[in-house]
């Protein structure tokens, strides 16, 4: 339930015209994880099911609970050792976070079902998410050269992607571009939850002096998660969605996308980007 993400070996038939060959290939692992909560009364409550790459599951659970406002910080955890249950006759498992206070199921404002492609499927009211996303403080002013170096530094830390080509990644960086944590997962929202969960468990939240770099596109749920953790700058190598841009502007976040080579687009918060020489 912890450690580096998995990959799996599969048999494939590779075609390179005009011939082909059978060989072993590595693919990214994807398995379900049921997240549960348990208060001091010992009663377990099912919270969510997510399709994720196994590894760093405690971080994933902690980050998910935090970004869904089901806990406020590390102090809300009664134990850093979760209860786990391997599901018989199925690939997957369950992880239970023990909380200090009684868990109130009424706090679940939607039916959680998170897939590897969408982290907020089934929101009953988008306004509920918007209401709990704070306005961010000013934060650091960043050198464009530092931002341009982030994708390559993140890519260099993606060990499983190098073997499989099939994982998203989120990297937490300092304002001067030093990598703090990198996590990989088949779900882009899971990769971010793992990074933010690690920061929560280490007592580092809020992350007001840091930058998050993601390996693909940036959507609403990634902006929301980053804002919940107090991250002032979110960067992506691909495109943002319209709701991601609107949300970043509303909470005062700097949103950088199409960060490739020596250039990028700033969709929100340009005041945190230093002028080019």
**CA-CA distance, 219 to 234, in Å (whole number)?**
11
Pairing of strands 233-236, 210-214: parallel
Q: Check residue 41 and report its DSSP letter.
A: T
Name residue 96's beta-bridge partners: 36, 83
Residues designated as active site: 118
131: how many CB neighbours lie within 10 A of its CB?
9
3-state secondary structure of 114: strand
Say if residue 231 is exposed, middle or buried (CB neighbours under 10 Å; 0-12, 13-18, 19+). Answer: buried
Closest CA to 187 of 9, 31, 48, 46: 31
Q: Check residue 207 and report its DSSP letter.
A: -
Look up residue 109 and give its two tokens. 């404002």
């Amino acid at each position: 339930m912890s450690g580096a993400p998995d990959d799996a070996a599969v048999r494939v038939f590779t075609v390179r015209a005009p011939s082909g060959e059978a060989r072993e290939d590595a693919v990214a692992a994807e398995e379900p994880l049921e997240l549960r909560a348990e208060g001091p009364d010992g009663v377990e409550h099912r919270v969510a099911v997510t399709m994720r790459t196994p590894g760093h599951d405690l971080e994933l659970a902690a980050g998910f609970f935090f970004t869904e406002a089901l806990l406020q910080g590390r102090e809300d955890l009664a134990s850093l050792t979760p209860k786990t249950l391997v599901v018989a006759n199925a690939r997957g498992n369950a992880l239970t976070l023990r909380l200090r206070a009684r868990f109130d199921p009424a706090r679940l404002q939607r039916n959680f079902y998170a897939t590897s492609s969408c982290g907020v499927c089934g929101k009953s009211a988008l306004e509920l998410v918007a209401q709990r996303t704070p306005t961010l403080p000013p934060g650091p002013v960043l050198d464009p050269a530092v931002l341009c170096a982030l994708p390559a530094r993140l890519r260099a830390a993606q060990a499983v992607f190098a073997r499989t080509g099939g994982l998203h990644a989120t990297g937490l960086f300092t304002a001067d571009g030093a990598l703090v944590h990198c996590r990989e997962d088949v779900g882009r929202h899971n990769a971010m939850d793992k990074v933010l969960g690690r920061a929560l468990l280490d007592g580092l939240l809020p992350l007001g002096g840091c930058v998050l770099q993601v390996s693909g596109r940036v959507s609403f749920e990634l902006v929301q998660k980053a804002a919940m953790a107090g991250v002032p700058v979110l960067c992506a190598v691909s495109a943002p969605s319209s709701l991601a841009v609107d949300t970043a502007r509303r909470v005062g976040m700097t949103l950088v996308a199409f960060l490739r080579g020596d250039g990028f687009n700033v969709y929100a918060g340009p005041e945190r980007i230093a002028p080019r020489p």
